[in-house]
Amino acid sequence: MSSTVPGSPVNPSKGNMKKTDGTARPEIEVRGLHKSFGDNQVLRGIDLEIAPGEVVCVIGPSGSGKSTLLRCVNLLETPTAGQVFVGGSEVTHPDVDIDAVRRRIGMVFQQFNLFPHLSVTENLTLPQRRVLGRDKAQAAQIAAENLQRVGLSDKAGAYPSSLSGGQQQRVAIARALAMGPEVMLFDEPTSALDPELVGDVLAVMRMLADDGMTMMVVTHEMTFAREVADRVVFMDGGVIVEQGTPDQVIGNPQHDRTRHFLSRVLDPAAADVEEGKQG
């Protein structure tokens, strides 16, 4: 599904290193992951391997643990039990350098979290300089390259408040990319956007997928999942209920829970009517 975009400036070779043939070492590996908040067992044994260059979309109802799973991968949450490996090294090891782990993992949230008092370029250069110790010229060069990637070179000097939500989210993606991550995690990156702005953000994510970036994407965008994902993972109640190709999971789900969820996401109005009848 992925192919290298001609003229793409970053990782042009990665698109060829596909994918789930079982031979490559997983880029992300989750083993027996549990996470509880007090008595609330949110993740109840997640096992998941993501190959280099693979795009995995995670879907499931609210509260099923999707965000918690992503947050455990980059240690924004500490797992209660289990292990997480990124690029073959265990990030859940007690002696791990958490900052070093986070440098390897880009994360994009529903809320863009840009600094309002900094220009677009400064939003991209500040973390490169603070976290990676790049000098000003190098950070600016890498910022410019990544703004070009997301189609926002003309906004380099603008402040976030003057940008649309979709543009701000693309800046947030460029900011993550400027750190040179091995993998990118997206947590509902288009959920806060007006519908007409969603497409530009998804186009940037599609470009990243085509460039061979390893991506884990929590999303309700079923069209995106169908077209871009190599694999769809359906979660409910803190476990993976089923997973497979988009055609398998979205097109021909095997479990009632998946079918019920999909019917609500794909046709919310009909689902509301159905619930109204029941209630």
Ligand X SMILES: Nc1ncnc2c1ncn2[C@@H]1O[C@H](COP(=O)(O)OP(=O)(O)OP(=O)(O)O)[C@@H](O)[C@H]1O
Site residues, Mg ion (CB under 5 A): 67
Select 77 or 182, whichever has its Cβ closest to ligand X: 77
Give the interface size with ligand X as a residue count (CB under 6 A): 11
- Does 53 bind ligand X (CB under 6 A)? Our answer is no
32 binds, among Mg ion, ligand X, none (CB under 5 to 8 A by kind): none
- Minimum CB separation from ligand X for residue 205, in Å? 18
- Which residue sits closest to Mg ion, CB atoms considered? 67
Q: How far is the CB of 79 from ligand X (least distance, A)?
A: 13
The single-letter code of the amino acid at 262 is L
Nearer to ligand X, 49 or 77 (CB): 77
Considering only the stretches 16-24, 63-71, 158-166, 258-266, report the one whose residues sit in contact with ligand X under the rule CB under 6 A: 63-71
Choose the one of Mg ion, ligand X, none that binds residue 62, judging by a C-beta under 5 to 8 angstroms depending on kind.
Answer: ligand X
Q: What is the DSSP letter of 5?
A: P
What are residue 21's phi and psi, to 5 degrees?
-85, 5
3-state SS class at 227: helix
Mapped onto helix, strand or coil, the DSSP state of residue 81 is: strand
Nearer to Mg ion, 28 or 163 (CB): 28
Please report whether residue 241 would count as binding ligand X according to CB under 6 A: no
28, 30, 42, 114: residue in contact with ligand X (rule CB under 6 A): 42
Partner interacting with residue 214 (select from ligand X, Mg ion, none; CB below 5-8 Å by kind): none
Give every strand in the sheet of 183-187, ordered side by side.
Answer: 105-108, 183-187, 214-218, 55-59, 231-236, 239-244
DSSP code of residue 51: -
Task: Return the residue matching tokens 């350098």.
Answer: 97
Closest to ligand X by CB, 67 or 146? 67
| Residue 167 contacts which entry, ligand X, Mg ion, none (Cβ below 5-8 A, type-dependent) | none
For helices 136-149 and 120-132, what crossing angle results, to 10°? 130
What residues are paired with 48 via a beta bridge?
Answer: 30
List, as own/partner pairs, every contact residues 96-104 make where C-beta atoms lie below 8 angstroms and the sequence separation is at least 24, other chains included. Answer: 99/131, 101/74, 101/75, 102/74, 102/75, 103/131, 103/132, 103/179, 103/181, 104/181, 104/182, 104/183
From candidates 62, 195, 276, 279, binder to ligand X by CB under 6 A? 62
Q: How far is CA 159 from CA 26, 146, 164, 196, 225, in A?
A: 39, 17, 11, 21, 32
Comparison of 58 and 120: residue with beta carbon closer to ligand X: 58
Distances (CA, A) of 10 to 25, 180, 183: 22, 10, 14
Under rule CB under 6 A, residue 68 binds ligand X: yes
Looking at the Cβ atoms of 62 and 278, the one nearer to ligand X is: 62
* Partner in contact with 278, chosen from Mg ion, ligand X, none, beta carbon below 5 to 8 Å by kind: none
Q: Does position 251 bind ligand X by CB under 6 A? A: no
* Binding residues vs ligand X (CB under 6 A): 37, 40, 42, 60, 62-68
